[in-house]
Amino acid sequence: MEKVMQELGKSLTDQDVNSLAAQHFESQQDLENKWSNELKQSTAIQKQEYQEWVIKLHQDLKNPNNSSLSEEIKVQPSQFRESVEANGRIYEEQRKLEESFTIHLGAQLKTMHNLRLLRADMLDFCKHKRNHRSGVKLHRLQTALSLYSTSLCGLVLLVDNRINSYSGIKRDFATVCQECTDFHFPRIEEQLEVVQQVVLYARTQRRSKLKESHDSGNRNGGSDDKTKNSDRNYLNILPGEFYITRHSNLSEIHVAFHLCVDDNVKSGNITARDPAIMGLRNILKVCCTHDITTISIPLLLVHDMSEEMTIPWCLRRAELVFKCVKGFMMEMASWDGGVSRTVQFLVPQSISEEMFYQLSNMLPQIFRVSSTLTLTSKH
């Protein structure tokens, strides 16, 4: 194409350029279709192989004397040490900071919860540590075994109002999801297609109701501003709304809540009634009704720091989220009868250590942190 563009107007015409561009587009489509088909075939083969492996493993574990596969799932001490050392080196490089707290919430019947404050990337909970192939397989098996348990794990991703996997953290998350085959749930693209259909149906229903109310409002002298707003971008979701994807091939996550936020979350004047905060409340309510006992939340409601996010901005935002989440967790007792949960508050990796420890000191002041009792004898 570069050579043709250089010769344009000399020995070649616009028709020659258009002809070559069409050939280029056609060959590109053929190549994409070829690799897409090969990927689907590989995925189907891997699913079949994994199903056979799990069945054989189940049969083998019922027969301990005839153990052909049990050797495969045994972790040698040397491998374990190597894995721990490798992980240690990784964490040293990333300078991952973490603080843990135990709290009790409730007026009469108190429920114990675990809180964690981490400086880490949200996608770290999705990526497999690829130190040993067998280790990844075991980790995946453990995740698969807990899919139908009563202690699922989820995380909150902050996304824009478009339902796709083409930009920002949505693209990074989709890349992690595609690193290994999901043997249980549909591919993330297929799940997003279903979400788009549901949103389209919901928006259509909402538009028809608004139109009816608009028609009746016009008869009563009403305004049509709401109808105009509803007609605009009705395929997109609104701030505070979220959609859910399910996964069996991620490291520590079964459920991802994709919470829609807009640029307003970067301002310093949001309140407890902001759509993003109310979205967190609805997400925690879903956690109660679907046995998700561990949830990871971006504390500052952003994944990356920017210039306007000063120290006072971070402290105000963290205080707001801490207090709101505390209130939502106290509401949980009336939703599920009081189930012990783990809530992980994540801050971006670019935040300073000083800022991290300021946030760490703020947390026990807002939540009631359990204190240890020292029992001594009278004598």
Sheet holding 111-119: strands in order across?
Answer: 97-105, 111-119, 342-347, 292-298, 152-159, 255-260, 242-246
Q: How far apart are CA 242 and CA 77, in angstroms?
A: 44
Cα angle 55-57-63, degrees, rounded to a multiple of 5: 110
* Span 181-207, average pLDDT: 90
Least confident range from 7-11, 215-219, 313-317, 371-375: namely 371-375
Query: Which pLDDT score, from 0 to 100, does residue 370 have?
Result: 62
Q: What is the pLDDT of residue 67?
A: 53
Query: 234 burial class (0-12, 13-18, 19+ CB within 10 angstroms)?
Result: middle
Task: pLDDT band for 226, please (50, 70, 90 cuts).
Answer: very low
pLDDT at res. 292:
95
Q: Model confidence at 93, in pLDDT bands (50, 70, 90)?
A: very low
Mean pLDDT of 47-59: 85
Average pLDDT score over residue span 108-114: 84
* Geometric angle at alpha carbon 316, from 315 and 320, rounded to 5°: 115
312 phi-psi bin (left φ>0, alpha ψ -120 to 50, beta other): alpha
What is the residue-wise DSSP string for 212-244? HHHHHHHHTT---HHHHHHHTTTTSPPTT-EEE
Is pLDDT at 126 greater than 80 in this prediction? yes
Q: What is the mean pLDDT of the chain?
A: 83
Over residues 150-167, the mean pLDDT reads: 92
pLDDT over 90 percentage in the chain: 45
Q: What is the pLDDT of residue 207?
A: 83
What pLDDT score was predicted for residue 141? Answer: 73
Dist. CA 189–CA 79, nearest whole Å: 36
- pLDDT(130) > 80: no
pLDDT for position 233: 61
Say yes or no to pLDDT of 145 above 50.
yes
pLDDT digit string (tens) for 290-344?
999 999 999 999 999 988 899 999 999 999 999 999 999 988 888 877 789 999 9
Cα separation of the two ends of the chain: 93
Higher-confidence position of 5 and 101: 101
**Structure tokens given for 40:** 């689907």
User: Mean pLDDT, to the nearest integer, of 30-59?
Assistant: 87
Percentage of residues in the chain having pLDDT higher than 70: 83
Helix (H, G, I), strand (E, B) or coil at 337: coil
pLDDT band at 70; cut points 50, 70, 90: low
